Chains A and B, each alone.
Chain A
Amino acid sequence: MQKEAKEFFNTRFHEQPVNGSALAGFRQQGLDMFNKLGIPAVKHEEWKYTRVNALFNNDLTYNLDASGISKAELDSFRLPQTANATSLVLVNGVYSPELSDIKHSVKDLLVLPLETAAAGEYGAIVKKHLGHSAAYHPDGIHALNTAFTHGGIFILGKSNRVITEPVYIYHITDSRSGFAFAQPRILAYAEQQCELQLVEYYGTIGNEGSFTNEVIEIVAEAASVLDYYKIQHEGPHANHVGTTHVRQLGKCLTNAVTISLSGGLIRNNLNMIMESERGESHMYGLYLLNGKTHVDNHTIVDNVQPNCFSNELYKGIMDEKSTGVFNGKIFVRQDAQKTNAYQSNKNILLGDASSVNTKPQLEIFADDVKCSHGCTIGRLDEEALFYLRTRGISEKNAQSLMLHAFAVDILENIKPQALKVFVDHIISERLDFNF
């Protein structure tokens, strides 16, 4: 299997017309890494519970090409109340300027094809930051994305600009003509004192199945505020491995909210690299799963510099045969004294065949730090259910009330109101919550 996959991707690598691109060397490094590391098997510690190699077990007839979708097809995926917002559209991982619509002023926001950015004025920034996440993910999946960097996006939030409307990034996978394999690559850069919100949303057309292997790297400069939202709500044949890598280069605030509502096999890597003193980051996650959906959240908070604060709360509800994985790493390097890092993961198992694996991992090399972590796996509190029922509320409604309460706790952290309402609507429907 490994051999066939390697051959397949090596052949396809040489077919892509990127000679002369400013990213040719970068891609080549990715391919070399991929050939060296291969596709992670279950014995790979980081991939123990997420059998990503199973996605490579079919006949390797991936469609790696860009695809044309119509504006109307795109519109069926649009989030509500976003008509006036900037939307960036990638189809099968390739940026489509024609389908995209940039509403922000160039004084606030700049969007360029990644290749163009690498070759021009922003070449130095791209060179410096693109690929920083590789060191955190020494595996062939990450390397494969690098090898196939093509049609990516560079997003620049300008200094001193408070950008109130979020930037919506739509990843549309078109699997109508076969299993689609998308490898989006994004680099976003928030200059000093810039406030920038990014929303990533995923959709699939067609029933053939898809695999999105994404890497987004985000750099936040001093006094910037960066809010990042990742909303996953795809069909059961849509698979996803994504790395969101956030670097804090100056004292700033970064927030990430990851919501997984449906899909096939999903792995979300979220890294917060606290490279400046007094940085602050918040990470929230909600996975509400049913069917056979598998969602694996791997998070890393890397405290490089002292006095940083991070808070992390992930919550999951697993029904039917769904599975959840949470792995939260906190590194505190030797210089990172007075780190405050908090982490909590709470799970409710509803289905008899559902399961969750949760593991905190603290590696602390400084002595004056405050770190805490906790995880719970349980069912709904019987005492509370009984209390509600003694007031005449049916068992089913009591359960809905409590599950919804458990979940909305995370939704409170979604600042764009329309997005919050959209997610709450899906959750309420799934939980039969209609009060």
Chain B
Amino acid sequence: MLKIKNLHAGIEGKKILNGINLEIKAGEVHAIMGPNGSGKSTLASVLAGRENFEVTGGSVELFDKDLLATSPEDRARAGMFLAFQYPVEIPGVSTTNFIKTAVNECRKYRGQEPLDAVAFLKMMKEKMKLVHIDQSLLSRSLNEGFSGGEKKRNEIFQMAMLEPKLAILDETDSGLDIDALRIVANGVNSYRNGENAFLVVTHYQRLLDYIVPDFVHVLYNGRIVKSGTKDLALELEEKGYDFIKNEVELTLNV
């Protein structure tokens, strides 16, 4: 599904990603962990098509097509979704209007008829239940004045509405209390169907108790320095990121 090969990227001359290699197949859940500033959000942004990051080397393919040459909207339409670490507040844009536009633009690209008002409302109701989101929230401006938890739930709600094949969740767990975390994780889990894949970016192991990954990768200084199963996450939790840092420095010194 997604093939990242030796990806280098940076901003304003500063190198952030220094050769990422990663392959995600249909149905898999990959977790990316790593200390603050290691480049997790940059990777997510580059995959989603944020133009202010400059790709300086490597390639990314989604369904065997060059992803890097594709506009952000076409990536979304092709089935990629990014749940933002910091969802943007957009005053004056109604959440419902926005989601309807997004859903129908994606459907159009996929050769589907636009949803009529009735079908759209039915779908909304269904997905709202999934993440315990209230109608009153959706009649407000997009993310404006939403609490941290509401913003994160709104991201997962949008994911459910857009039905992506690959969802990248960037620290969707940060700032959530345990109940909200469960709700968000349940939302994600009920969307898993063996076909779609996830790239779950997190700083803490906690989320992975609920969204159980097939693979865990550790990102450090813009490179995947260690990969393993879910046990790697537990090891990190126990020993802290310093253990990785020391290991990396050791190998570099040899």
Contacts and interface: CB of A to CB of B under 8 A. Distances in A.
A406 B84 contact: no
B92 A388 contact: no
Nearest to B72: A389
Interface string A390-424: 11111101100110111011000000000000000
A395 B101 contact: no
A435 B97 contact: yes
Interface string B29-65: 0000000000000000000111110000000000000
A392 B100 contact: no
A8 interface: no
How many A residues touch the partner, as a band? 20 to 34
B93 A402 contact: yes
Nearest to B164: A392
A384 B93 CA distance: 11
Interface string B67-92: 00001110111000110100110111
A383 B76 contact: no
A387 B84 CA distance: 8
Nearest to A412: B92
A392 B76 CA distance: 5
B101 A393 contact: yes
Contacts of A406: 92
Contact of B73 (A384, A393, A404): A393
B243 interface: no
Contact of A392 (B73, B84, B88, B141): B73
Contact of B92 (A386, A393, A394, A405): A405
Interface string A111-155: 000000000000000000000000000000000000000000000
Contacts of A392: 73, 76-77, 102-103, 105-106, 109, 162
B135 to A, nearest CB: 19
A383 B87 CA distance: 10
Interface string B93-121: 10001111111011001000000000000
B101 A397 contact: yes
A393 B99 CA distance: 9
B158 interface: yes
A352 interface: no
A394 B104 CA distance: 11
Contacts of A383: 88
Contact of B72 (A384, A386, A402): A386
Chain B interface helix/strand/loop/mixed: helix
Contacts of B98: 388, 391, 393, 401
A382 interface: yes
Nearest to A398: B73
Nearest to B77: A392
B158 A391 contact: yes
B105 A387 contact: no
A11 to B, nearest CB: 53
Chain A interface helix/strand/loop/mixed: helix
A404 B91 CA distance: 11
Interface residues of B, number: 33
Nearest to B75: A390
Nearest to B90: A384
B73 A395 contact: yes
B73 A389 contact: yes
Contacts of A386: 48-51, 72, 88
Interface in B151-197: 158, 162
Interface centre among A384, A390, A394, A398 (most CB of B within 10 A): A390
B113 to A, nearest CB: 16
B84 A393 contact: no
Interface centre among B98, B106, B109 (most CB of A within 10 A): B98
B194 to A, nearest CB: 24
A385 B71 CA distance: 12
Contacts of B101: 393, 397, 401, 435
Nearest to B45: A386
A428 to B, nearest CB: 12
B52 A382 contact: yes
A414 to B, nearest CB: 16
Nearest to B89: A384
Given A392-B109, A397-B101, A384 B71 contact: no
A391 B76 contact: yes
A390 B91 contact: no
Nearest to B74: A392
A252 B98 CA distance: 40
Contacts of A401: 93, 97-98, 101
Contacts of B158: 391
B90 A393 contact: no
Given A388-B98, A390-B76, A392-B76, A409 B71 contact: no
A409 B100 contact: no
A420 to B, nearest CB: 15
Contact of A391 (B71, B91, B102): B102
Contacts of B51: 386
Nearest to A400: B101
A433 to B, nearest CB: 10
Interface centre among A381, A391, A394, A401 (most CB of B within 10 A): A391
Contact of A395 (B52, B71, B84): B71
B91 A405 contact: yes
Given A401-B93, A402-B90, A406-B92, A391 B162 contact: yes
Those 8 A-B pairs whose CB atoms lie nearest each other, nearest first: A405-B92, A391-B102, A392-B76, A392-B106, A389-B72, A387-B88, A389-B73, A392-B105
17 contacts: A381-B88, A387-B87, A387-B88, A388-B90, A390-B82, A391-B76, A391-B99, A392-B73, A393-B102, A393-B105, A395-B71, A395-B73, A398-B73, A401-B93, A402-B90, A409-B91, A435-B97
